[in-house]
Structure 1
Amino acid sequence: MTQEILIRRPDDWHLHLRDGAMLQGILPETARHFARAIIMPNLVPPVVTGEQAAAYRDRILAALPKGMTFTPLMTLYLTEGTDPADVAAAAESGLVKAVKLYPAGATTNSHSGVRDLDKVMPVLEKMAEIGLPLCTHGEVTTAEVDIFDREAVFIDTVLDPLRCRLPELRVVMEHITTEEGATYAAEGGPNLGATITTHHLIINRNHILVGGIKPHYYCLPVAKREKHRLALRRAATSGKSCYFLGTDSAPHVDALKEHACGCAGCFTATNTMALLAHVFEEDSALDKLEAFASLNGPAFYGLPVNDEKIRLVKHELAQTFPEKIITEAGPVTVFNPGYPVHWAVEA
């Protein structure tokens, strides 16, 4: 017997589209289901000025297949040389919706990121003044901190002191992966939000390591213990307005994932909505899926919800998804949850 739900068309509040041939190949996978997305600026070279953001937006729109509707919400990559006036002008024009803080060396193409937070305080003060959100990759990168502890240490030593110093600054804790992150977001008040990825609701660190290394489950922040995955599930399915979907869908060609020093990232754009329906149904929270995927993010960013709707249908037989997306840059493996999924997005 089929079951179906109708929800507002969702948005993705953390997305990697890359550029060039990769952009051309994977953009339709997001635009098929999502109306808007916060676009990550960690290209090579990174998107650091309003002019560069405008050029990147134009390349994204040029790559959009005919008949698809999608709005890229642009961000700027915060560096120690970022000009506060340029940030303010890009925000005032409506082009830029957030600025991204990458601690230097934290993840893919983050080497131009911030090493000394004091050097970017003029930018952060201007953002607090104009209400422009700061999206944070919330991990410290000091060698003495274990990779599984990076998020909790970041909250204690970087994020909380920053928010005490600039309480008016609107902050998004991106791709939280820990119980500590979920708790901090819930207690942070109206100026703090948190995105949760699809894959962190499904995998823990055993999925990466048990039975051999699984490179297509390797991501940053890395998946943690099972207790943290369960905390994220409780957060996402709670309906609380501070939590919203940011897939962090991050395409890499297979040759760079299946490599001696493989790239971090899970590509989930293709099947995220079906996977979320599965997760939320398992937790008896299908009535909370629309808030997580379609309502809470726009509310935090001060944007209207989408008028369009999508229909999710549960079938008796398990549904199939492409194993790979073939792009001119190379094949990209689609995230596999490791179990049958009976949900699908249908017209």
Structure 2
Amino acid sequence: MTRTLTIRRPDDWHLHLRDGAMLQSVLPETARHFARAIIMPNLVPPVVTAKDAAAYRDLILAALPDNADFTPLMTLYLTEGTDPADVAAAFADGLITAVKLYPAGATTNSASGVRDLNNARQVLEKMAEIGLPLCIHGEVTTHEVDIFDREQVFLETVLDPLRRDLPELRVTLEHITTAHGIDYVRDAPGDIAGTITTHHLMINRNHMLVGGIRPHYYCLPIVKRAEHQLALRKAATSGHPRFFLGTDSAPHLDGAKETACGCAGVFSAPNTMSCLAHVFEEAAALDQLEAFASLNGPARYGLAPNDATLTLEKRAEPVDYPRKYHTPDGPLTLFDPGHPLHWHILD
């Protein structure tokens, strides 16, 4: 039953590392398999300025294990008070790779996000002028829109008007969760691409809700119907250059997840590559795994693919991933794909 697959070393184009003890605990899990990652800026307080990004990058580099080969690609958190000159200077210096748009209230630590894009117009115009990508959490947050419809409504009422108004703006729609999002990114004219997470490929809302609520499957954007999961799988395994991996691995301690009002986020960094191999094998598309995990993302961001490689081996016995990871502040639960994973990552 043994079978091996070697691909260029992958990158993660959407990653939460947090800070403090959590950063120390989860960073080695990403650095073990991934060469680069776009780092989300939604700390408390958020990473808004170039000075903030430089300080956060230094924290990450200091937390890396000895001999780790990993490059954090920094982002800035877009606010209605963001300084266009500061953003442009950070990009020109190579300090940042993108700017992140969180609609205010859309997800964890998004209270400082944008409520009215018109108030960030000068920053967006400058980004379009200099070719700085905008990574978007694509959901509306108005109370009258059902949580399962937030992405579709965002496409129609926010993203499409924004892109018509600023056609030169480079947009990455992050963690796509619907067939509507897939269709938009695949077919829309202009400079657009999209990331797809590990967990949205593996689960749908039935996994989260049927037979009892499973808090460690709760994420934002929330998992959708099975038909949307199938659309995500079809896009990811197609090899289409506009789609690539962004795990959105977002660790929260068990105490913050298993509570009356639990935090949104799935921790998937350790077992992502085993999960992806499982998905791509089911689709008879293992030959497209390298494009999704290792090639399309670098091409999108103007970077060369990694020279190093990663080898996966399918074995009869499943991978024995820990169910829990222990941090100085408490336990952290690994994403459970719901079935054994037989693709091992060779050291």
TM (normalized to structure 2)?
0.99
Given that residues 193 and 243 in structure 2 are in contact (C-alpha distance below 8 angstroms), is that contact kept between their aligned partners in structure 1?
A: yes
CA 1:211–1:142: 2 relative to 1, 3 Å: same
Aligned residue type for 1:260:
A
Aligned counterpart, 2:124: 124
Aligned counterpart, 2:54: 54
Aligned counterpart, 1:194: 194
Q: How many residues align?
A: 347
Aligned counterpart, 1:326: 326
Give me the whole-angstrom Cα distance separating, in 1, the residues matched to 2:67 and 2:202. Answer: 32
1:54-83 Cα deviation digits (max 9, x unpaired): 000000000001021110000000000000
Give me the whole-angstrom Cα distance separating, in 2, the residues matched to 1:329 and 1:172. Answer: 34
Are 1:20 and 2:11 matched, yes or no?
Answer: no
SS in 2 for 1:241: coil
SS in 1 for 2:151: helix
Aligned residue type for 1:76:
L
1:156-183 Cα deviation digits (max 9, x unpaired): 0000000000010000000000000000
Given that residues 167 and 190 in structure 2 are in contact (C-alpha distance below 8 angstroms), is that contact kept between their aligned partners in structure 1?
A: no
Shift >6 Å, 4+ stretches: none
Aligned residue type for 1:271:
N
Shift, 1:190, TM fit: 5.2
Aligned residue type for 1:97:
T
CA 1:190–1:342: 2 relative to 1, 3 Å: farther
Matching of residues 210-221 of structure 1 within 5 Å: 210-221=210-221
Aligned residue type for 1:334:
L
Shift, 1:340, TM fit: 1.2
RMSD, aligned α-carbons:
0.6
Give me the whole-angstrom Cα distance separating, in 1, the residues matched to 2:313 and 2:132. Answer: 37
SS in 2 for 1:31: helix
Aligned counterpart, 1:164: 164
Give me the whole-angstrom Cα distance separating, in 2, the residues matched to 1:137 and 1:148. Answer: 14
Shift, 1:329, TM fit: 2.3
Aligned residue type for 1:273:
M
Aligned counterpart, 1:203: 203
Aligned counterpart, 1:292: 292
Matching of residues 1-347 of structure 1 within 5 Å: 1-189=1-189, 191-347=191-347
1:282-338 Cα deviation digits (max 9, x unpaired): 000000000000000000100111000000100011221011111112211000101
Give me the whole-angstrom Cα distance separating, in 1, the residues matched to 2:132 and 2:247. Answer: 21
Shift, 1:188, TM fit: 2.3
SS in 2 for 1:32: helix
CA 1:116–1:251: 2 relative to 1, 3 Å: same
Give me the whole-angstrom Cα distance separating, in 2, the residues matched to 1:325 and 1:296. Answer: 31
Identity of aligned residues (%): 71
SS in 1 for 2:33: coil
Given that residues 2 and 315 in structure 2 are in contact (C-alpha distance below 8 angstroms), is that contact kept between their aligned partners in structure 1?
A: yes
Aligned residue type for 1:52:
D
Give me the whole-angstrom Cα distance separating, in 2, the residues matched to 1:75 and 1:146. Answer: 29
Aligned residue type for 2:262:
G
Aligned residue type for 2:53:
A
CA 1:128–1:277: 2 relative to 1, 3 Å: same
Give me the whole-angstrom Cα distance separating, in 2, the residues matched to 1:191 and 1:201. Answer: 24
| Structure 1: unaligned runs, 5 residues or longer | none
TM (normalized to structure 1)?
0.99
Shift, 1:189, TM fit: 3.8
